[in-house]
Amino acid sequence: MKSSAKEASQSQIASALLAIIVIIGATGFTWYWMQKQSVLPTETQTQDIDQSTKEVIPTPTPTPTKLIHGKDTYSVSGGGGNGPLISEVTFDPLDPEVGSIQKILVKLSGATAVASAHVNIHTDTKTTTVVLKRINGTDYGGTWEGTWTIPETYLYNYIPTIVATSTTGETKIPITIREQK
């Protein structure tokens, strides 16, 4: 009786090992197949540099970004330089059609007066500079606004970079547009 129990135990161990090998093989095959089909995201993404503005532009993913419809506001924290503080950016609408107008509002403040502000917007094949003008507050803290007509698609690249300058320096912050949830 001991030998039949021992044989049963060895049989169970062999079955368990075979099951583990099958699971590992199936997982490896699935991963390989998904890589060949380009379903998995790449682990590293390269970055390009826009030669006109010398800004780093992240390489887009192969899938177009799905943006929320209408107005969207982004809170900004952290520094992007020695210039004015950029605290909030609003895009109205966030997802404009080619040929339509988009309004960009930026809240700026600083210990010294804001001398100038603009947004460099990198779309699929070009970079457009949108000049911002103060619409309320003072040069030490207020809201700056700019509008532009969308010149082309932004299915893969839609990277606005806010640039504000004062006598203390320049602040440059790219805004990562969030996908629709």
Which pLDDT tens digits describe the chain residue by residue (181 residues)?
556 666 667 888 888 888 888 888 877 777 766 665 544 444 444 455 666 666 666 655 556 666 777 899 999 886 677 899 999 999 999 989 999 999 999 999 999 999 999 999 998 899 999 999 999 999 999 999 999 999 998 888 889 999 999 999 999 999 988 665 5
Position of tokens 């010398």? 54
Q: Residues 6 or more apart from 119 whose CB is under 8 A from it? A: 104, 106, 129, 130, 132, 146, 160, 161, 162, 163
> Is the CB of residue 110 less than 8 Å from the CB of residue 140?
yes
Provide the 10 A C-beta neighbour count for residue 4.
Answer: 8
CA atoms within 13 A on the CB side of 68: 13
Token reading at 81: 């330089």
- Residue 81 vs residues 2, 16, 47, 84: alpha-carbon distances, Å: 78, 59, 21, 8
Cα separation, 164 vs 76, in Å, equals 13
Choose among 69, 89, 86: nearest CA to 146.
89
Dist CA 103 CA 96 (whole Å): 10
Which residues lie closer than 8 Å to 84 by C-beta, 6 or more apart? 108, 109, 110, 114, 117, 164, 165, 166, 171
pTM of this structure: 0.64
